[in-house]
């Protein structure tokens, strides 16, 4: 089996697992978007998956992502940014990703909004929430409402930031059932925030290779799957 066949087979297997999780949770499979996390994998792998029908890809490192975007220019790809984002990289990111999953500070929000406004566009974002002490990324729960209010103020008509929902990266567990309470909690946070601020926050980005089925059962609208599609990641070059 060549690499393209292997990727196509892996993608089909993950999609089937997504569909089964949706069936268990009585959810429409169309309501869950599968983002293939392609960090450290070459553009040729992404191209093979595009040819197998995959459209959403996620990257974690700005420089690596921009190189691949250039290599794959003209392909029908929706790029997501899922990694930690430094404020000084906001300019490079604004407008080049359909969704930034990892907004986690006011400083970053202000800068990303400024860069989006300069480019005359609306940048969709998720706020990444820190759900456990071991996690470094994400805003603390206690500061979530304040950051969400700031982000909402950073929309100016059709430019600035468009807050779409929340993202989390719970602690790694051996068993997906251990991650489930974190997913349920993110959903509760989203529901509460949406009610409190009076805005729809439709997206919940949660679930990776080890636990995406539990995340779907708890309401994920976006799952971020790398290893199950691409295989083990090579070491970072
Ligand atoms: C790498 C990464 C993923 C994919 O992880 P897998 O376990 O390989 O599926 C998902 N989300 C984020 C934020 C990542 O950095």
Beta carbon of 187 within 6 Å of any ligand 1 atom: no
C-beta 65 within 6 A of ligand 1 = no
E strand intervals along 4-143: 33-37, 56-59, 78-81, 99-103, 122-130, 139-140
Stretch 108-137: mean pLDDT, rounded?
93
Q: Which domains does the chain have, with CATH numbers?
A: 3-229 (3.20.20.10)
By most ligand atoms within 8 Å of CB, the mutation choice from 59, 82, 127, 216 for ligand 1 is 82
pTM over 0.85: yes
What percent of the chain clears pLDDT 90, i.e. is strictly above it? 92
The mean pLDDT value for 126-130 works out to: 97
Q: What is the share, in percent, of the chain residues with pLDDT greater than 70?
A: 98
pLDDT tens profile 4-53: 999 999 999 999 999 999 999 999 999 999 999 999 999 999 999 999 99
Query: Does the pLDDT at position 235 exceed 90?
Result: no
Confidence of residue 237 (pLDDT cuts 50, 70, 90): low
User: Residue 60: CB within 6 Å of ligand 1?
Assistant: yes
Under the banding of pLDDT at 50, 70 and 90, the label for residue 135 is low
Q: What is the predicted pLDDT for the residue at 172?
A: 81
CA–CA distance from 96 to each of 20, 26, 200 (Å)?
A: 33, 34, 24
CA 121 to ligand 1 center in whole angstroms? 28
What is the pLDDT confidence band of residue 96, given thresholds at 50, 70 and 90?
Answer: very high
């Amino acid at each position: 089996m060549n690499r393209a066949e292997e990727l196509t087979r892996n993608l089909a297997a993950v999609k089937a697992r997504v569909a089964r999780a949706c069936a268990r949770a009585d959810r429409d499979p169309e309501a869950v978007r599968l983002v293939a996390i392609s960090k450290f994998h070459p553009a040729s792998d992404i191209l093979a998956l595009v040819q197998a029908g995959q459209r959403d890809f996620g990257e974690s490192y700005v420089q690596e992502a921009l190189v691949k975007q250039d290599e794959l220019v003209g392909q029908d790809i929706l790029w997501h940014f899922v990694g930690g984002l430094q404020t000084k990289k906001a300019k490079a990111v604004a407008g080049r990703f359909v969704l930034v999953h990892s907004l986690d500070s006011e400083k970053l929000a202000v800068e990303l909004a400024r860069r989006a406004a300069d480019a005359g566009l609306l940048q969709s974002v998720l706020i990444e929430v820190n759900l456990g002490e071991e996690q470094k990324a994400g805003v603390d729960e206690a500061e979530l409402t304040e950051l969400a209010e700031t982000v909402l103020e950073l929309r100016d008509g059709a430019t600035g930031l468009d807050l779409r929902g929340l993202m989390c990266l719970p602690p790694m567990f051996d068993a997906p059932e251990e991650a489930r309470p974190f997913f349920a909690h993110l959903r509760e946070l989203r529901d509460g925030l949406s009610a409190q601020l009076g805005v729809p926050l439709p997206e919940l980005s949660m679930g990776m290779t080890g636990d995406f089925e539990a995340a779907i059962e708890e309401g994920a609208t976006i799952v971020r799957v790398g290893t199950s599609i691409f295989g083990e990641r090579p070491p970072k070059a």
